Amino acid sequence: MKLFKRAPFCQVFFSRVPLNTYLAKLVFGLFLSASGISFAQQAAPAAPSAPTTDDEMSKAILEKLQKSGDIVIRPSDLPPKPPPKAAAPNPVVRTAPKPVEHAHWSYTEGPDGPANWGKTSKENLLCSIGKQQSPMNIEGGILVDLPPLRFDYKLSPLTIQDNGHTILVNYAEGSNLSLDARQYRLVQFHFHKPSEEAIDGKRADMVAHLVHQHHDGRLLVVAVLMNSSQEASQAENAAFQMILNHIPLVKKESSSPNGVMIDLNQLLPKNLAYFTFMGSLTTPPCSENVQWVVLKEAAVISKQQLDNFSRIYPNNARPLQSRSGRLIKEAR
């Protein structure tokens, strides 16, 4: 018996049965679907020209099956997509900050004088409508046992400025005042002539305001009254003289002379008994809820020292304000 070499079914089928183009595509699609292979997943090299006859179509299909086999293209086989281009950030336009402009105010009569401070700016409105404004006349206080003042003032490099309203000294960190179990840091001190505070209607020649701040932001100002003496050689105050010696020649410029130290303890009187009450800053913006401590004994300066300050600021004291029923405590 003559033996025949068995040919694959797909070869016999596609070579002997005439197929038109539509039928070939349909049959081949069913075959691939049964095999779990997608036609779109077959990798086929680009042919020079597409088959046109049934025989050419059959041979092309068979060649694809023999060369490729059961191959499935996975997503990982595909070349990675290029990352999307990041959008160009919007350019940031930086502008120089505008300088803070403070309303002009003065101690002279007129539209910018003390009577009109509250009108110079909305930030200064308390100067006109506040109910606890300073300074005020100190009288009619109740005599009580007040906690002692505990000054812990250390030497500080002198940093001094004539700010256009007074002579001001910024004090270095580390100097404090303790009162009633609370500690206040000394921030700065400055001077007024005459004294802004009055005791029983009488003002001193000058006053030094020692501004302190608690860590919670609350302010405490110690007022050291200053009276002049005719005995200039014996009454000259060393701390005040050092300040006068180093007042800058140009207003609103700070000066820090090299190696010059200031000791504020030299400005304090020996007797530290005091009055205390609630008030405000005595200059715009006239912020309230400031505790005031006014020493009953005045420090002594010379007549010449008083005259020297008067030539710079002959009058930089705010007029007395209404007491408005505030309680005043006086150490007995």
CB contact set of 140 (below 8 Å; sequence gap of 6+):
328
| DSSP 8-state code for residue 83 | P
| 165 has catalytic annotation | yes
Chain length of the chain: 332
Which tokens hold the place of 293? 């401590």
Dist CA 100 CA 88 (whole Å): 35
Dist CA 100 CA 120 (whole Å): 15
| DSSP 8-state code for residue 163 | -
CB 294 within 8 A of CB 197: yes
Which tokens hold the place of 30? 């069913």
Phi, psi of 262 (to 5 degrees): -120, 140
CB 177 within 8 A of CB 186: yes
Question: Helix crossing, 9-16 with 54-68: angle to 10°?
Answer: 160
Query: Among residues 165, 209, 214, 215, which one is catalytic?
Result: 165
| DSSP 8-state code for residue 200 | T
Catalytic residue annotation = 165
